[in-house]
Structure formats: C-alpha cells, structure tokens
Structure 1
Amino acid sequence: MQDTDALLDSLIRSAEPEAAAAVVRLIRDGSDAELAAVNPLAFAAEHRLAEAAVISALLHAARLGLFEMTWNVICPSCGGILDANATLKGVRQDAYHCAFCTLDTEPTLDDTVEVSFRVSSRVRRIGAHDPDGLTFWDYHRQVFFGSAVNFPDAFSELADRALVESAELEAGERIILALRLSEPAIVLDPVTHATHTIELVGERTDERQDLTLVFSDSRGCATGGALRPGPVRLTLDNRTAARVLPGVFSAGEALQALIGGRRPFLSAKRLLSSQTFRDLYRTDTLEIDQRLKIVSLTFLFTDLKGSTALYERVGDLVAYDLVRAHFRILNEIVAGQSGAVVKTIGDAVMATFPTPDRALAAALAMHEAMNRFNAERGVNELILKIGIHEGPCLAVSSNDRQDYFGQTVNIAARVQELAGAQAVFATESVVRHVGSSCLLSARRVRSEQRSLRGIGGGVTIYEIA
C-alpha cells in the first residue's frame, strides 16, 4: 500500500487537483462495479467536474499504473462489447459482428470504439479481474456491456421480468432446463457471445418440445429457429474450456428497458484529440499499417505571416524565442478547447478538435491572444493565418507518431493558405455547425467560392473577421 500511496501522491501533483482528488477517492472507496469500467464522462457529470480535467486525471493515473485503459469495440445497437483491447493497436479495420443484434459494424473511432478505465490489479483487486468468479448479472454489467449503457435504477425489477431462466455451466458441463415460453425469446451467453433466437409460431401446445444448444470456442455464433408456444426442454452443452453463463431472455419491452438506455462515453476519436493523451502517449498508439476511420474530425492549421522577414529583421535568436512563445500560447488554447496539437511544421501548427465549434473558439482565442502578445511588445510582429475544415479522415501512424490522412486534412491546409491576417478562414461544415452560431453572432462573416490548390472544384470559404 505504501507504493500505491506514493503513486496517488504523484497523481495529485500531476493532474488538476479536484479531478485528481475525485479519482483518488474512487480508487480508495469505490465499489468493484465502479472500478471495473470507469466512464470518464459519466464520472465527471456525477462529480460536477470538467470532462477534460477528469479525462486528463485518468490518463495520468493510467500512465502511473493505477488504471488500465481498455479500447472496446461496441455494438451501436445493444452497447455490447464486441472486442476488448489493451491498446488501439488491437482494433482491426474489418467489420465486427454482433450475434445478439445480428448486426455487422465497421469500426469508426467516433462512435464504435470507446475507452474506459479499469483499476489495476496491483492497486486493488476487484471481481472484474477474475471474471469467472462474477455472478450472472455482474458479468453482464461489468464485462459484456460497454460503459455507454445506462442501466436503470429499477434494474432488479426489470431483470426479473426480462430473464426467463439462467444457468452457469463449467467447462464440459451439460444441463437441461424446463421452460414454458409464451413470447419470443433469445438465448445469450455473454462469455462466448453466442446467441439463439426463438420465434414462436402456430397454436399453443402442451407437448414438450426439445431444443439443444452447444457452446463452442467459436465466438459470436448466431443461430435461430421456431417453436410453438408451450413447454420446452432446453439442453445446454458447454464444450468450451471455460465457464459459460447462458440466459434465456424474453424478447420484449422489459429487455429493451433494461439495456436500452444510453449515456455519453469517451470515444477513441475524442481521446486522440486530447492534448494530455498525445503528451503522455507520444508513440506506439497505432501499428505502422493500421488505418482506422473517423467519420468527423475538425482540423485547424495556423501559420505565421511574414516569418521569413521576421527572422531577417530581429535575428535568429530573438525570432526563435518569439516563435516558441507563440507555440506555447497556441498549445494552451488548443488544450483549453479539448483539442490536441498533432504536429508543428516550421512556424505552422496542425491541431485537431472533436467538433467544429471547439476549433472555431480556439481560432478566435488565438487571434485575441496574439493581439495581446503584440501589444505587450509594442510591435505587431506575430500575425496568424488560420484555416479550419471538418470531415472524415483516417487515423494513421507516421514517423512513429499518431497522425491523420485524407482529403479533409488536405483541404484544411489549403484553406489556411488562403487565409489573410487577422481573419479566420473556414469551410461551410464548420460555420454551419450548430455550436458555431453563438460564436459568430456578433462577427462579420462573408463567403465566396474559391479554388484550392490541388483540390478539384470550387469550395465555399467563409472569412470570419
């Protein structure tokens, strides 16, 4: 415990104090269920803390070894975890299949890859570290379903109504359940992700019907069939090398009410746009040949106008110090808007934001900060040119760093090339974003059709004074 106390003290020193203190209390006093899969956004809302501060605190805690990050591919329909990975490298590019929903899902970092945090077993041993010891419902809530599923307060009542029967089978075990079905049902094993849907057709019968289900090491096996309403003898045969937990669920309103609630979760896209994540996990995020889709990401490019003349006018040493100071200012503004600096190129900055309004707010703040900086020096030397664009892209690995590739990146860079001094140039998807309206209400905005170097066709560009 002495080593843990030292790590907790280090966390308090490295992260925002209130968020760090809340995470420390969670580690010391939280229940096993609370520590199994921490949803940073839900935790922030519960404790009335800033989301960015909580994310940063948990990232620092993970870096110290207090937590382990889990990158889960989740089914967008049921919220079940289709694949759990220790790093983003484990997420494959091809589609995942949810047998429970009979749905194929192509992974995108926006909404099908979530990141949650589990307390390290070296700090506190909890039930989720030994899932074979979890009860039927604890396994579902702590292992099978992702942190986006918002279980209702009346969970026990709904669970009783939704569950027809459940079983626990050790490796090689075989049991028989006697059921009476009056509505369609689904058999689900959360360990192997195997499912069997039971449709009810025809007249009710009093004759016993037989159904045999075999659980194998083939993950995500989906089968189905039809029976008549009435008695069923269900034989369950576990041919895996581990325990299975099959349950027979009534496919009705109670099941939907039990698992249908959703809450915000930390997406991989948002985490990759966290400055703290990029600072703490600079390398080893993606495989060299890994390409993961992002449906919508906002890119902001900046450059200094007349930087070559600045070096000639004030000399290399002074100019270098000025440019470094400008980088520090921009980095703070980007981080303050939940963004991250991907890289600097000469005097230019490339940054990403989860939403267009965050990027726009950062751009406006950058101009204001540079104006103050120049006013303090009494010389108007650092003039920013800023361009913003939003759209789909690929998360890739480049030069041992996590980077982005695609036409959206190219357009954002070209928009910045068009930008004049003291103005922000942005595309229509940025300006029309619902969160941008309040930022633009008191500003002069004009638009015109422009050609971008290397980009076919005209693009509507908005100049924000």
Structure 2
Amino acid sequence: MPTMTLSREHLRDYLLHAEERAVYRVYPRHMAAELRAGYRSLLKLLVEATLEGEALLHWQLRCPICGATGDYASSLQEAHHETTCATCAATIVPHVDDEIFVTFSVHPALRRLGPHADDPDFQQSMAERFRPTTGHELLTIQTFRDWAQNQPLPTQESLEVRHVALWFSDLSGSTALYARRGDPRAFQLVRQHFDYLFEAV
C-alpha cells in the first residue's frame, strides 16, 4: 500500500479528531496504518509533537516472565536498571529493545478525553494486531536523541540493550572539500552527510 507524506498539521488533525480511544494510547504502527504514512516518519513526528507539548510519551514494560504490561517510567530520568513486575512480583532487568516499549497520547492541553477513552479491550486488540514500538526504535530517531541529551539516566543507572549496530564512515576528500567550499559551507555539507547516516542507522 503506498504511503503518503505526513505533516505536523496532519498529525495534529488526527490527534484532535480521531476517536478518543485511538489517541488515549497511541500505538505508532496502528497510527501509521490508519494514516497510510511511513512508520519512521510518523514516529519522528510523534517525537516532535511531544517536544511541542501536543503529545505525551509513555515508557511501558512488558514482563518477560508473565507477559503483563504496565508503566515503566515517565521519562528516562526515572528509568531503573532493575525493576519489579507489578503483576507477578518477579525482579527483572528489562532490555530497551525487547521488554521496554513506548506509546503516545494526545496532550490534555491539546484535547481533553473522556473517561471512556481508556478502553482496555481496544488496547489489547492494538497490542495483538500491531508490533509495539520498542524503546530502542525510539532511540534511533535523531530528534529524540538530540532531546534526550538533556534527560540523563539517574546516577549509577543503565539500560540493557541486546542489539547494537556499529557504522564506520569516512569522508573521502574532506580536506579538499573544506579548501574548495570554505569552512562554513563544507561543515554544513558534512553535517548533512551525518544527518542522513544517523537517519538510516
């Protein structure tokens, strides 16, 4: 199915007018399917909407022992290396690419939702039909990484990651580029090169 180019205005319109249960707990892959938009492009727009105060980001945890889901942290500053499942009381060390996932919701300042928006059956249906967005996927969005630099983990805390990709890049002829284009223009081109790489990785 072809995808459309989504703008912040399209996203804002969806947050304002979609059925309440769909924006109470947004599953990005569900929203991408609804809007026929590219998943990563939509995820980037959701991060931007969060930074602009139009959406809220929720860190959630799926227990690897019992499968129950629940809130993990309201921000990276509240994340812990080890946590206890509220359902089965197991002590677990969650992985950001497996057990930690994210959802979004419309910010109350943009739209107030009624109590019926919290629809557990609908949320369960979304969880079964669409793969969750892992914390790792969120960390691959450059806009989020730029913002998260100011949201450090608590002292002596860390997040477990199972899968890591390393990319080595070398700009052939970069010295000549600086000599030919001048420092400001060459720096802009080099920065653009890395922006493309970061987006791809």
Same fold (TM over 0.5): yes
Q: Deviations over 1:309-365 (max 9, x none)?
A: x37x97598367435413312312431x2x3xxxxxxxxxxxxxxxxxxxxxxxxxx
- Is 1:276 the equivalent of 2:140? no
Instruction: Provide the rounded CA distance (Å) in 2 between the counterparts of 1:285 and 1:141.
Output: 35
Asked whether the equivalents of residues 75 and 98 of structure 1 are also in contact (C-alpha less than 8 Å), the reply is no
Instruction: Provide the rounded CA distance (Å) in 1 between the counterparts of 2:189 and 2:56.
Output: 35
The match for 1:265 among 119, 122, 132 is 132
Alignment of 1:22-421 (within 5 A): 22-76=10-64, 77-81=66-70, 83-100=71-88, 103-127=90-114, 138=118, 140-141=120-121, 149-150=124-125, 261=128, 263-304=130-171, 310=175, 315=179, 318=182, 321-335=185-199, 337=200, 339=201
CA shift in 2, pair 1:315/1:49, >3 Å: closer
Structure number with greater CO (CA < 8 Å, separation at least 6) is 2
Instruction: Provide the rounded CA distance (Å) in 2 between the counterparts of 1:324 and 1:293.
Output: 34
Q: Deviations over 1:63-109 (max 9, x none)?
A: 1111111111222443421x342212212111422525x65432110
Instruction: Provide the rounded CA distance (Å) in 2 between the counterparts of 1:17 and 1:45.
Output: 13
Query: How well do the aligned residues superpose, as a CA RMSD in angstroms?
Result: 3.2
Overall identity of the aligned pairs, in %: 20
Asked whether the equivalents of residues 39 and 117 of structure 1 are also in contact (C-alpha less than 8 Å), the reply is yes
How far apart are 1:304 and its partner, in Å?
3.8
Instruction: Provide the rounded CA distance (Å) in 1 between the counterparts of 2:76 and 2:104.
Output: 14
Instruction: Provide the rounded CA distance (Å) in 2 between the counterparts of 1:49 and 1:59.
Output: 15
| TM value normalised by structure 2 | 0.79
Kindly name which structure, 1 or 2, has the bigger radius of gyration based on alpha carbons. Answer: 1
CA shift in 2, pair 1:91/1:282, >3 Å: closer
CA shift in 2, pair 1:262/1:108, >3 Å: farther
Determine which structure has the larger helix proportion and give its number: 2
Structure 2 residue ranges without an equivalent (≥5):
none
How far apart are 1:126 and its partner, in Å?
1.4
Asked whether the equivalents of residues 77 and 152 of structure 2 are also in contact (C-alpha less than 8 Å), the reply is yes
Asked whether the equivalents of residues 21 and 119 of structure 2 are also in contact (C-alpha less than 8 Å), the reply is no
Asked whether the equivalents of residues 39 and 116 of structure 1 are also in contact (C-alpha less than 8 Å), the reply is yes
Instruction: Provide the rounded CA distance (Å) in 1 between the counterparts of 2:6 and 2:181.
Output: 40
